[in-house]
Amino acid sequence: MPTKIEKDAISGTDTTGHEWDGLKELNTPLPRWWLYTFYATIVFAAVWVVLYPAIPIRGLTGVLGYTAREAGTAELAEARTRAEPMMARLRAATPAQIAADPDLRAYAIAGGRVAFANNCAACHGAGGQGATGGYPTLADDDWLWGGTLDAIRTTITHGIRSPDDEEARTSVMPRFLGDGMLTRPQIHDVAQHVLGLSGLATDQAAAQRGAAVFAENCVSCHGDQGEGNAELGAARLNDRIWLNGPDTRAIEAFIANPRLGVMPAFGQRLDAATINMLAVYVHSLGGGR
From the annotation, which residues make up the binding site for heme c?
A: 120, 123-124, 173, 218, 221-222, 263
Q: Residue 278 and residue 113: Cα distance in Å, rounded?
A: 7
d(CA 55, CA 21): 51
Quickly list DSSP for 49-109.
HHHSBTB-STTTTTTTT--HHHHHHHHHHHHHHHHHHHHHHHHHS-HHHHHHSHHHHHHHH
Q: How many CB atoms lie within 10 A of CB 162?
A: 19
Annotated binding-site ranges:
120, 123-124, 173, 218, 221-222, 263
